[in-house]
Amino acid sequence: MKNSFDVIVVGAGHAGIEAALACARRGLSCAVFTISLDAVGNMPCNPSVGGSGKGHLVFELDALGGEMGYAADRVTMQSRTLNTGRGAAVRSKRVQADRAAYRLLMKHTLETQENLTLVQAEVTSVEVERTSGGRMRVCGVTCRPGGYMSARAVIISTGTYLGGLCHIGDIHTRSGPDGMLPAEGLTASLAELGVSLMRFKTGTPPRILRSTIDFSALELQPGEDCITPFSARTDAAELNSRESVPCHIAYTNERTHEIIRSSIDRSPLFSGVIHGTGPRYCPSIEDKVIRFADKTRHQLFVEPMGRDTEEIYLQGFSSSMPDDVQYKMLTSIRGFETAQIMRFAYAIEYDCVNPLELRHTLEFKNIAGLYGAGQFNGSSGYEEAAVQGFVAGVNAALKLLGRAPMILRRSDGYIGTLVDDLVTKGTNEPYRIMTSRSEYRLLHRQDNADERLSAIGHRIGLVSDERFAAVQQKYRLVDAECTRLEETHLAPSDALAAMLTAHGTAPTSSGVSLADLLRRPQITYADLAPFDPARPELPRVVTEQAEIRLKYAGYIQRQLRQVAEFTRLEERLLPQDLDYQEVSCLRLEARQKLSDIRPASLGQASRISGVSPADIATLMVYLESREGQE
């Protein structure tokens, strides 16, 4: 095997996959090292892709030229759109994926990718050299087996393997997820380089043998009939032709809760054995029972692990309780009285970096050529990991190719929001994306991700000319249909009045445009069909976009004005050699935070905890006086 590459990726989970493919598809030689080839693209927790906020990430990743959405479409067992009763901004696609099929598909994708080498080996250290200015620059890694491998860039995407420690009651095992070997040596290597590390924790529920569950006692949760793919590369007709696999809903009860309360001293989470910080938005079942003592039940989602396996995933039942307690808890639930556990639930602690050490490109500030991605950066979830891997991979490739970096701003979408949150605000718990984190969520819908980001994907060379042209044509049709609806007017009529009254809105007494009727919340594009005989035959994705644009036009314009103000601050760059200690009138806390984080712009500085609007005003005055002296 060759021992010199342009880029080395450490880890082949969701972040590592996207990072490696982005580099290799840009023509760079890339090696991916993984502790186990059987863990490439593994889903150690729930075998699902998408969800609230997370679905937005997958659509954005696909628009930029990533792989996750296309792979998820190919192994979809069931698809649902969440929050359909709410506005378009928060609707999110979620699919139940075939875990084994996804893993094999992603492994084969890496194996067959030109310029990419996939190797089973453990990276034990990151090697650096000193530049003439004394700064550290990455030069390779040391592997076991394999020895030293040189590289111009290294991307660390170790997931939950780094210093992995699994807990099941009083059983504590040095392990990665699913009983895999942990990554043991790399933590010490990073610490020697001065990298600030944190200790986080996550967990997973038990897997149950399908035949031991009484599904007649559970609530059926069917999928949607008309599936919109994550990826523009997917054949929607073929996707919708597949048989959907049903999911179910179960509930804990007072007996379950009493079993947990009476055994809480045996939980390593509550006995003080676990020191890592867990995810606030995905707590263990024992944590939920203790924190929400007034609740008499908690909802659980009963979901298949694949089409060719009998394992069932019990989402919402994550635990680190001993095995005997897990059985008592499980069999107290209606429908699970005789359930058999195939894999016990466990908690896992792992090492990760303080993301404040990273730039928006996800390159380390103090080690040139070294990048972090995924759960290594303090995030949680497959989707968050994948988009960070893509950002790191793209920026490593662009830097080596001598091109400008890809920096996605908060105003660009959820990926930009996620990265900015991590590198500007940091995190003291596993970070999870949510629609509420975006200031511009009406602009950042999952349905218009291609409009927002395909041009960037095309610029960085990961969206083809043909695909980009198709996106442009789609939105030309949207523009034309919006114009036609604005210019087409209806005269008052009994039929129109009857339709409007039937939908709970007032009849019109004068002529009205189709666009104005469509702006009424009660009226849909389909409702207007009988009154619109000249309507052209258009794809559903086009008519949906036209309807959303017209219904939310006022709100969209308001957010566009907010983006313009945001952009003004983002474009006011801060000199990287600025000595904040010498800026008079800055508060002490602001000086410390600004010196530590070294924000790239006034916009980023304004989002740092501990930096006030008065501090930003002081910085603006200082910059103006400094520029006047130059």
In terms of Cα–Cα distance, which of 114, 48, 10, 40 is closest to 313? 48
* Distance separating alpha carbons of residues 87 and 548, to the nearest angstrom: 10
Tokens representing 427 are: 């995190």
Residue with tokens 């979620």: 94
Q: What is the per-residue pLDDT for 6?
A: 98
**pLDDT tens digit sequence for 567-610:** 988 989 998 889 999 888 898 899 999 999 999 999 999 999 88
Locate all alpha helices (DSSP H) within 322-381, ordered by sequence.
Answer: 323-331
Alpha-carbon distances, residue 340 vs 178, 263, 305 (angstroms): 18, 20, 15
Question: 553-570 and 540-551 are packed helices; what angle lies between their axes, rounded to 10 degrees?
Answer: 80
* Distance separating alpha carbons of residues 374 and 154, to the nearest angstrom: 14
The separation between the first and the last C-alpha atoms of the chain, rounded to the nearest angstrom, is 54
**Vertex 379 angle, CA 376 and 382, to 5°:** 95
Query: Phi and psi for 169 in degrees, rounded to 5?
Result: 60, -125
The strand ranges marked E within 360-503 are: 367-368, 370-372, 489-490
CB 170 within 8 A of CB 266: yes
Give the torsion through C-alpha atoms of 11, 12, 18, 24, to 10 deg: 90
Tokens representing 513 are: 């445009």
* Distance separating alpha carbons of residues 547 and 550, to the nearest angstrom: 5
In terms of Cα–Cα distance, which of 552, 606, 539 is closest to 228? 539
Q: In what order do the strands lie in the sheet with 76-82?
A: 48-50, 92-97, 76-82
- C-alpha Rg value of the chain to the nearest Å: 26
Q: What is the per-residue pLDDT for 629?
A: 67
In terms of Cα–Cα distance, which of 409, 469, 446 is closest to 231? 446
Instruction: State the DSSP H helix or E strand holding residue 390, giving kind and residue range, or none if neither.
Output: helix 382-400
**Rounded mean pLDDT of 275-293?**
88
Burial of 418 (0-12, 13-18, 19+ CB in 10 A): buried
In terms of Cα–Cα distance, which of 400, 374, 368, 405 is closest to 387? 374
* Model confidence at 296: pLDDT above 80: yes
Beta carbons within 10 angstroms of residue 309's beta carbon: 16
Tokens representing 149 are: 């491998």
Tokens representing 156 are: 């660390």
pLDDT confidence bin for 457, thresholds 50/70/90: very high
Q: What is the per-residue pLDDT for 276?
A: 84
Q: Which pairing describes strands 341-343 and 171-174: parallel, antiparallel, or unpaired?
A: unpaired
CB 607 within 8 A of CB 425: yes
**pLDDT tens digit sequence for 178-202:** 999 999 989 999 999 999 999 999 9
Percent of the chain predicted with pLDDT > 90: 87
Locate all alpha helices (DSSP H) within 461-537, ordered by sequence.
Answer: 465-487, 494-502, 514-518
**pLDDT tens digit sequence for 233-279:** 999 999 999 999 999 999 999 999 999 999 999 999 888 888 888 88
**Vertex 507 angle, CA 505 and 508, to 5°:** 125
* Model confidence at 630: pLDDT above 70: no
Tokens representing 269 are: 């989470």
**Vertex 40 angle, CA 420 and 422, to 5°:** 10
pLDDT confidence bin for 280, thresholds 50/70/90: confident
**pLDDT tens digit sequence for 382-416:** 999 999 999 999 999 999 999 999 999 999 999 99
Q: Which residues contact 454 (CB under 8 A, 6 or more apart)?
A: 63, 64, 463, 467, 468, 471
Residue with tokens 């000199």: 575
Q: What is the per-residue pLDDT for 272?
A: 82
Q: CA neighbours within 13 Å on the CB side: how many for 223? A: 24
**pLDDT tens digit sequence for 527-565:** 999 999 999 999 999 999 999 999 999 899 999 998 998
- Eight-state DSSP code of residue 503: T
CB 12 within 8 A of CB 161: no
Tokens representing 97 are: 């994926």
Q: Which residues contact 482 (CB under 8 A, 6 or more apart)?
A: 515, 546, 549, 550
**pLDDT tens digit sequence for 321-376:** 999 999 999 999 999 999 999 999 999 999 999 999 999 999 999 999 999 999 99
**pLDDT tens digit sequence for 494-519:** 999 999 999 999 999 899 999 999 99
* Model confidence at 203: pLDDT above 70: yes
Give the torsion through C-alpha atoms of 261, 262, 268, 269, to 10 deg: 10
**pLDDT tens digit sequence for 87-124:** 888 999 999 999 999 999 999 999 999 999 999 999 99
* Model confidence at 281: pLDDT above 80: no
**Rounded mean pLDDT of 405-433?**
96
* Model confidence at 216: pLDDT above 70: yes
Q: Give the DSSP letter string of 17-37.
A: HHHHHHHHHTT--EEEEES-G
Q: Mean pLDDT score of the chain, rounded to an integer? A: 95
Give the distance, in angstroms, between the CA of residue 309 and the centroid of all CA atoms in the same chain: 27
Alpha-carbon distances, residue 55 vs 89, 91, 368, 448, 451 (angstroms): 12, 9, 32, 12, 16
Tokens representing 376 are: 């290594």
